[in-house]
Amino acid sequence: MKVLQRDELIQEPLPGRVLQRAIGRDSASASGKMTVSFCRYAAESGPMEPHHHAEETVVILDARDGWIRKGPAKDDLPEKVPVTAGTILHFAELEWHVFEYGPGGFIDACCIYGQVDNIRPEDIVARG
């Protein structure tokens, strides 16, 4: 068993979030079967772009004035879902969504994929 502490994981600043790779490819603990990471969505990372990818489960660890918008297309995300600590979200493969927050708000989450390949949308489309 490998024990990981979040505060010891490398913080990778990305557009719209800070990523900490815990388990999976190029992560603190290597796995060829699953991907687990921590993400923090807040003003210091800038706004996130609406996106879609492989099936995903997101566990909200903490949030202040945060929500998810989802919908049928990148430019059509009409459903707003407020999130709080303890919320679990299950996104279907290629479901459009975006993490957002109000002034001074944030979302802190653990993101889980049951795979290490075909996570990004271009990988899913390429496999046919």
Kindly report whether the global pTM for this prediction surpasses the value 0.85. yes
The DSSP 8-state label assigned to residue 16 in this structure reads: T
Q: Are strands 79-83 and 88-91 parallel, antiparallel or unpaired?
A: unpaired
For the stretch 21-62, pLDDT in tens is 999 999 999 999 999 999 999 999 999 999 999 999 999 999
Instruction: Indicate if the pLDDT at residue 116 is higher than 80.
Output: no
The more confident residue out of 119 and 113 is 113
In whole angstroms, give the CA distance from residue 126 to residue 38: 27
Give 62's strand partners.
108
Residue appearing with tokens 């049951």: 114
Distance from the first to the final alpha carbon of the chain: 36
The pLDDT, as a whole number, for residue 121 is 62
Cβ-count burial 9-40 (b if 16+ within 10 Å, e if not): beeeeeebbbbbbbbbeebbeeeeeebbbbbb
β-pair type (56-71, 88-91): antiparallel
Q: Which residues contact 63 (CB under 8 A, 6 or more apart)?
A: 83, 84, 85, 87, 101, 105, 106, 107, 108
How far is the C-alpha of 115 from the C-alpha of 123, rounded, in Å? 12
Task: State residue 125's pLDDT score.
Answer: 64
Domains and CATH numbers, the chain: 12-127 (2.60.120.10)
The confidence band for 115, taking pLDDT boundaries of 50, 70 and 90, is confident
Q: Which amino acid is at 46?
A: G
pLDDT, mean over the chain: 94
pLDDT tens sequence across 64-74: 999 999 999 99
